[in-house]
A = this chain, B = another copy of it.
């Protein structure tokens, strides 16, 4: 904690005034990140990392539950290896960092700092898969990756970020497609049930899919300011990498077959969603299930006899039930209130001499600000229930916001008017041609977010060209 934050907590800019500044203020004031010395890199500070560790833990648990094992592949990729899959290199070459020297010597071949690891896994699988009995391979890794971005923002777009990347091989298209969808469902489940972020599930258009994939599935969430954020993607790679890297297996009939592959990833970007879906003008709001500290005890008039003893006693009684902490520092209670509101700790527990006399504490919800008096003996029951209510309330508020921010457009005039007036998701029909997709982006800066699994029939014709519509697409300005 910096001196600044020990002495006073600065206010954040109101989000209605300047959303971008609000975001920057929150990540700084809530002590989530700091800027690294190399452009676009970030330092994830203790509080930010503790949240990330909890997110990691939940994803990792579900990956293992669905049969995946963790591995670690190298940071470095030889240039020639990255070039084996043509679409892939075209997609990534403009944004990679190049290592050209080791110690004093110039390298014979330039090395890429991994922007993603499909090619490394491809090479490995090629050597290690021989028979149908070697399948499926269900690998995941937690790693840092580097993409040399021009404009960067903490969590949302950074030159280096942390993520997990799953890479799997399967005997058949059906199995690989099942895996692609299964992992998207895992992502959606963690977002909705752990992070309280409602998501839309769907498929990316050809234009927006991963470089080298047959198709990309995505989950999309809606931020406070009406922009969408892609929160996780799962790619069906088909046999493209298998052909480029010669990953074949002998099937039960003794025939050589290419494997079908998937890859899927979620990154520290999701921290940006957490901030922009739940935060408010008093700072961060962390849903209870992901919160490193779920309840913070703030003693009032702690110099008075018995107050601190009682506070520690309460902490000890609660600590196996919820993640509880106590701030017994010599700061004023008001400063402590501000600090933990800024950090978005779900519940504050106030207890002063009079409360103790009455065998009561005050619970203050971060999300609504509501206070309630609870008898100390009831706390072990009431506190977990309250945390659950907060979790649900955050999800429902976010869902309501998304619903409010979802509109329908049948013409480009409507489309533009919605974008100008409120932003958010626009449901509109599309002919399937990339020309219309590009024109919409050019005219409005909105992009296709996904072709949702849950299709609706809005009209018969493409919102852009007026030709026969193929499917409904969610459009939005996006991070």
Instruction: Specify which chain B residues have a CB less than 8 angstroms from the CB of A162 in the assembled complex.
Output: 72
Q: Confirm or deny: A304 has a beta carbon within 8 angstroms of a beta carbon on chain B.
A: no
15 A-B pairs with C-beta separation under 8 A: A6-B134, A37-B78, A38-B111, A43-B72, A43-B120, A46-B70, A49-B71, A52-B72, A72-B162, A75-B146, A75-B160, A96-B102, A96-B103, A100-B100, A102-B148
Chain A residues with a Cβ closer than 8 Å to the other chain, count? 62
Residue pair B99, A97 in contact (C-beta under 8 Å) = yes
Interface class of chain A by DSSP: mixed
Bound form: Cα–Cα A450–B129 in Å: 46
Contacts beyond the supplied A49-B71, A75-B146: 5 A-B pairs with Cβ under 8 Å: A36-B76, A72-B162, A93-B103, A100-B100, A144-B144
Residues of chain A touching chain B, judged by Cβ–Cβ distance below 8 Å, are: 1-4, 6, 34, 36-38, 41-46, 49-50, 52-53, 69-78, 81, 93-104, 111, 113, 120, 123-124, 127-131, 133-134, 139, 143-144, 146, 148, 159-160, 162
Which residue of B36, B99, B111, B130 is within 8 Å of A73 (Cβ)?
Answer: B36
> Inside 8 A of A36's CB, which chain B residues have their CB?
73-74, 76, 120
Bound-state Cα–Cα, A49 to B72, Å: 7
Q: For residue A95, which residue of chain B has the nearest CB?
A: B103
- CB of B46 within 8 A of CB of A71, answer yes
Residues of B close to A34: CB separation below 8 A: 124, 127-128
Tell me which residues across on chain B come within 8 A of A101, comparing CB atoms: 97-98, 100
* Known contacts A36-B120, A81-B37, A148-B103; is-contact A160 B71 (Cβ 8 Å): no
Identity of the chain B residue whose Cβ is nearest the Cβ of A102 in the assembled complex: B148
The complex places the Cα of A114 from the Cα of B78 at a distance, in Å, of 19
Contacts known (A6-B131, A134-B1, A134-B6); A160 close to B76, Cβ less than 8 A = yes
Taken together, the copies of this chain in the complex come to 2
A127 smallest CB distance to B (angstroms): 8
**Contact for A124 among B43, B76, B97, B127, CB less than 8 A:** B43
Asked whether B37 lies within 8 Å of A74 as measured between CB atoms, the reply is yes
Hey, which chain B residues are within 8 Å of A103, CB to CB? 93-96, 148
Is A94 touching B104 in the complex (CB atoms < 8 A)? yes
Docked pose: A139 CA to B45 CA in angstroms: 9
Q: Enumerate chain B residues within 8 angstroms of A46, measured Cβ to Cβ.
A: 69-71, 139
CA distance A46 to B72 in the complex (A): 8
- B130 lies within 8 A of A74 (CB): no
B38 touches A73 (CB 8 A): no
Closest 5 CB pairs of A and B: A3-B130, A41-B74, A36-B74, A102-B148, A46-B69
Complex Cα spacing A96 to B107, Å: 12
With A50-B69, A103-B148 as known contacts, state yes or no: A133 contacts B74, CB within 8 Å: no
In the bound complex, CA of A78 to CA of B49 (Å):
23
Q: Are B37 and A120 in contact (CB under 8 A)?
A: yes
Name the B residues within 8 Å of A41 (CB-CB).
Answer: 74-76
- Which residues from chain B contact A98 at a C-beta distance below 8 Å? 99-102
Among B42, B69, B94, point to the contact of A74 (Cβ < 8 A).
B42
Residues of the B chain whose Cβ atoms lie less than 8 Å from the Cβ of A129: 2-3
- Scoring A49, A72, A124, A130 by chain B CB atoms within 10 A of each residue's CB, the highest score goes to A72
The closest CB in chain B to the CB of A110 belongs to B101
| Pair B97/A72 contact, Cβ less than 8 Å | no
Closest to A249 in B: B3
Q: Is B49 within 8 A of A69, CB to CB?
A: yes
CB distance from A91 to the nearest CB of B (A): 13
**Which residues of chain B have C-beta atoms less than 8 A from A127's C-beta?**
2, 34
Residues of B within 8 A of A120 (CB): 36-37, 43
Q: How far is the CA of A36 from the CA of B93 in the complex (A)?
A: 21
What chain B residues lie within 8 Å of A38 (beta carbons)?
Answer: 74, 76-78, 111
